Structure 1
């Protein structure tokens, strides 16, 4: 199936579903008329879909019937209940979950045998086509189905397949990381404002610096330590800042944040 002919539906239209829909419409990967959404609160759904021009469905059944690819975007504890009445409809669809800690085997129990399904973990920057979608390597899609889903998700940013056992850790990095990065942007800006730089300029510079550094690493494949060394002259200003960060446990704090989430 060609992307221009594909129809995508959402069951649940919270923050992540809205981010994905925004990304597809913003990047032009999908036209608004190709996207369908359903949610329990239909009035709220209409308010959230109207700015994008996508279809607000009166029921989950309508979204499921219309879609070629159905994105399940409800809380994990709601999935079984929501999918139960849709099992037969979904047998001829591609089902994509974006629920945390709901891998292939969990979703398999909510669907009829042979239903094509895949578990993923997108992050919020997908809304501007600069996100990450973690994709579980275990799935039941055939080659053509996987190619369609990969094309859809690639329009939202990086698609990173990982083994089932690593879904949680990868999801922490890409899903919780934006909060950590935002805190770093804020802290950098606060430091600059303390020394007289206007806040708007401080945010612009901090955000672009992080975006550019990340892109440089991805395109060159350089080790982050080597990138640090490249701007750290002997006796210079940068090494003084690096030393202060190390003194206050910068790296350790980041690793401990992972430990807190992953349960170590």
Structure 2
């Protein structure tokens, strides 16, 4: 199936689902008319779908009957009560799950006979710069797997991981935008402290973060080597690095992941 023909349905249309929809729209490969959604509040759903030219459905049963692929984007505790009543219909349509904690084996227990893959995207998918952790096993057919990876690839970088690593991969990719936003805010505050207007400060810092990340991806150079390249002997940068080390910056990030995974 060509991308221009595929019909995608979102069961649940909260922040992550709308970020994915926006990313597909931004890619110019998927039109709003190709996407359908249902959620708890139909009136609120209309507000979120109309300006995207998407179709709003009254419930999951209606949606599943109209699409070629489903994105399950509801809270983990809602999966069984929402999906089991439509299990027979769902068996006819492959689905992508973005629900944390639900891997292939969990879905097989609750929805045997369905075709699915478990993923954990992050919010930058809305501008096609996301990272999507994807379980490396699924019950998708080969053509379905190719289609799903093509669609997810429009949203950013797809990283396939073993089931046991899906949670931590999702945590690192999914939660870290909040951590990096805090870094941007903190460095912006420092710039403002010394007189740079806030709008300029955030623009500078965000571009610095984006540029540094793109440089690492393009070069493949170890981040420590990149750090060393900026630190001249006795220079200013190494003094700042030493202060960050003394403040426990490195261990603070690791502990942030530990507390989520623990």
Give the TM-score category using the shorter length.
over 0.9
Query: How far apart in 2 are the matches of 1:196 and 1:129?
Result: 34
Residue 75 (structure 1) aligns with: 75
* Deviation per residue, 1:60-85 (Å, 9 max, x gap): 11211111110111111110111112
1: CA distance, partners of 2:45 / 2:2: 28
Spell out, residue by residue over 1:140-165, the C-alpha distance to the aligned partner (whole angstroms, 9 max, x if none): 11221111000100111010101010
| Residue equivalent to 2:48 | 48
Distance across 1 between alignment mates of 2:226 and 2:37: 43
1:150 equivalent in structure 2:
149
Q: Is the 8 A contact 1:130 1:156 kept in 2?
A: yes
Following superposition, the deviation at residue 4 of structure 1 comes to 1.0
Aligned to 1:33: 33
Contact kept, 8 Å, 1:88 with 1:112, in 2: the verdict is no
Equivalent residues, number: 262
C-alpha deviation, 1:133, in angstroms:
0.8
How high is the TM-score relative to the length of structure 1? 0.97
Aligned equivalents of 1:158, 1:51: Cα separation in 2: 27
Q: After the TM superposition, which of the residue ranges 86-95 and 130-139 deviates more from structure 2?
A: 86-95
Query: Within 5 A, what are the aligned runs for 1:77-226?
Result: 77-113=77-113, 115-226=114-225
Contact 1:172 1:261 in 2 (8 A): yes
Quote the offset at 1:245 in angstroms.
0.4
Task: Tell me by how many angstroms 1:117 deviates.
Answer: 0.5
Tell me, in whole angstroms, the C-alpha distance in 2 between the residues paired with 1:109 and 1:63: 23
Q: Residues 29 and 152 of structure 1 are in contact (CA less than 8 Å); yes or no, is this contact kept in structure 2?
A: no
Offset of 1:112 from its aligned partner? 3.5
The aligned counterpart of 2:8 is: 8
Give the Cα separation in 2 of the matches to 1:219 and 1:63: 41
Q: Is the 8 Å Cα contact of residues 126 and 132 (structure 1) preserved in structure 2?
A: yes
Q: Deviations over 1:87-141 (max 9, x none)?
A: 121222111110011111111123242x210000011111111111110011011
State the TM-score, normalizing by the size of structure 2: 0.98
Structure 1 gaps of 5+ residues are none
The runs of 5 or more residues in structure 2 that have no matched partner are none
Task: State the match for 2:233 in structure 1.
Answer: 234
